[in-house]
Amino acid sequence: MTMTEQRLSRQGKFAWPIPEIVTIFIAAVSFVLFPEDEYFEINTFSGMILASAVISLPIGIPLLFAKVGFFWFDFAYVAAGVLAYRYILGLPDGAYIGEGLILLGGIACVISGCSHTLRRILASRFDKRRRSK
């Protein structure tokens, strides 16, 4: 059985959520380095990305159980996240509390989908390189 026919959760180092953890770290550092009273926009953006990156860890669990060669599930996550983001921005009155949670979930889906796509590409390239030797 080739690596592309196996699940992503069975790939060892490619199963670890390194891109999400790096995103959490960068967002936390920028959240601390830019105080809210001086840099309100940067602080708000980094807080939103930090919350979304933390939410993306449990949201991305179903993506671990898809096969390495199956990218459509990741693309569906990214598309659902973009649609949720565009829906919230298109509301005439702005976002309320519940809609803000949908916005965080949408951004989390984009982060998780992009991370899992990157890990699938790296795992399949690693498999091709290993089989060519």
For residue 72, the SS3 value is helix
pLDDT in tens, 31-72: 999 988 899 999 999 999 999 999 999 999 999 998 888 889
b/e 82-108 (16+ beta carbons within 10 angstroms → b): eebbeebeeeeeeeeeeeeeebbbbbb
Residue 6 lies in a domain: no
Q: Is the pTM of this model over 0.85?
A: yes
Kindly indicate the confidence band of residue 95, based on its pLDDT and cuts at 50, 70 and 90.
low
Residue 122 lies in a domain: yes
How many domains would you assign to the chain?
Answer: 1
Give pLDDT, residue 89. Answer: 82
Give pLDDT, residue 1. Answer: 66
Residue 64 lies in a domain: yes
Residue 40 lies in a domain: yes
Residue 25 lies in a domain: yes
* Span 91-111, average pLDDT: 84
Residue 22 lies in a domain: yes
Q: Is the pLDDT of residue 116 over 90?
A: yes
Q: Which domain holds residue 114?
A: 15-132
Give pLDDT, residue 90. Answer: 82
* Span 99-104, average pLDDT: 86
Query: Which of 63, 72, 70 lies closest to 109, judged by CA?
Result: 63
Residue 50 lies in a domain: yes
Give the pair of three-digit tokens for residue 89: 């921005």
Query: Which of 106, 115, 113 lies closest to 51, judged by CA?
Result: 106
* Span 76-104, average pLDDT: 85
Tell me the pLDDT of the chain averaged across its residues. 89
Residue 3 lies in a domain: no
